[in-house]
Amino acid sequence: MDSGSLPPSVIESIIEAYAEGIRPAFAFILIPAIFAAMLVPLLIILWTLSTPQLRRGPIFILNTASICSGLILSALSTHLAMESVLSPFHSISKGEDLVYTALDAWLPWIAESVLLFRVWIVFPRAQLPYVLAFPVLIKIGRAVLNIFFTVSWAKALFRPETINQIQILHQLNPIYFQLGYTLELVDNAYISGLFLWRLGRTGHLFNGHAIGRLDFKQTYSERLKDLFWIASTNFVFPIIFSVSQIVAVFRGDIILGASLSLANCYVEIISTVFATVWSSTASFAEATKSTSFLTTSYSQARPSAGQPIELYMDRVVSVTTDSLPNEGQQRKPVAV
């Protein structure tokens, strides 16, 4: 029987059923494609505004790893979704899907770990055990949940009847998504709020002038500091996405929750990198009341080859005392 002998109503039903089956895949094509276009220039900006010293720091390394992982996630998501649309009756690549699932589960965890380093920097060492105890426990709980989720996904993936990811999403226990998104919301809200609260004590967090616009008559570091206050407001977007994810999965719409989770993953990467633009500048050292200017002065006083050690020691004393701020004089900022 050819298609010409089928009633129009039957043909219409077949087309609608096919469109309904492939509709969820378009979200997993458009979302990573759009955000990948943002991550490429963001990676270039991150490297351009950084120094060799900053590139050796853990925050920069984690941010770079997050952006690169986000680009890999975009490529895998787009390819897998396109395969499910173009070949709906053929099974997807098991290995490729497993790598994608692991990245999707762990990438928000890695991106949010950058905030832990920032809290570790801005708080005194004596307060760190009390401040970081709760978020570290949340991180451990999320890590355990990610392991169980990945194992359950792998078991469902390697079943002979499994064709695409949409099937697996409907087969898994919703508790993975409900508990995972809830812990993610608590983790992100606590760490972001704690970090901004600590920095807000050294300035005016709710200063409309600082948050709303940049004054290009200021110095470069002051403009970057204002840029941080603008970027810090972006932390609210991951929280909004997390709340939306929780509402979606508790209503039983796992596909919508997974789509929001994918978008939130990129939003968290972008937000944390934007915050790094400020935290990697001189103002960050002032906010943390760092004493790294002594270390910098000490390293600048190192002797050249063949110079006597006495000259070196005199230079250390001279440079170190000159670097100390006088009474009422503002300390020279040093990038961390």
Tokens of 18: 């096919």
Alpha-carbon span 293 to 281, nearest angstrom = 14
Q: Residue 250: which CATH number?
A: 1.20.1070
Structural domain contains residue 217: yes
Structural domain contains residue 309: no
Model confidence at 292: pLDDT above 70: no
What ranges in the chain are assigned the alpha helix state H? 8-48, 52-55, 58-86, 94-122, 128-157, 165-171, 175-200, 208-212, 220-232, 236-250, 254-279, 282-287, 292-300, 309-323
Please spell the DSSP secondary structure of 186-241, one letter per residue.
HHHHHHHHHHHHHHHTTS-TT-HHHHH---TTS-HHHHHHHHHHHHHGGGHHHHHH
Please tell me the predicted confidence (pLDDT) of residue 233: 53
Alpha-carbon span 78 to 26, nearest angstrom = 9
Structural domain contains residue 40: yes
Tokens of 162: 């499994």
Alpha-carbon span 19 to 306, nearest angstrom = 78
What is the H or E stretch that residue 57 is in? none
Residue 4 and residue 49 in contact, taking contact as beta carbons nearer than 8 Å: no
Please tell me the predicted confidence (pLDDT) of residue 63: 85
Close Cβ partners of 252 (under 8 Å, ≥ 6 residues apart): 174
Q: How confident is the model at residue 22 (pLDDT cuts 50, 70, 90)?
A: confident
- Count: domains in the chain: 1
The overall average pLDDT reported for the chain is 73
Tell me the per-residue pLDDT of 183-229, one tens digit each, with 9 for 90 and over: 999 988 888 777 767 665 654 444 434 333 444 455 656 655 555 55
How far from 292 is each of 23, 116, 262, 280, 299, CA to CA, in Å? 55, 21, 39, 14, 11
Q: What is the mean pLDDT of residues 165-188?
A: 88
Structural domain contains residue 317: no
Tell me the per-residue pLDDT of 76-121, one tens digit each, with 9 for 90 and over: 999 988 888 887 777 778 889 999 999 999 988 887 777 777 777 7
Tokens 């998504």 -> residue? 177
Tokens 């770990």 -> residue? 113
Full residue range of the structural domain in which residue 153 is found:
22-287
Close Cβ partners of 289 (under 8 Å, ≥ 6 residues apart): none
Model confidence at 309: pLDDT above 50: no
Which has more pLDDT, 279 or 92? 92
Structural domain contains residue 136: yes
Structural domain contains residue 324: no
Other Cβ atoms less than 10 A from the Cβ of 61: the count is 14
Please tell me the predicted confidence (pLDDT) of residue 142: 93
Structural domain contains residue 59: yes
Radius of gyration of the chain from Cα atoms? 25
Among the listed residues 235, 261, 243, 246, the one whose alpha carbon sits nearest the alpha carbon of residue 27:
261
Structural domain contains residue 298: no
Among the listed residues 228, 93, 77, the one whose alpha carbon sits nearest the alpha carbon of residue 157:
93
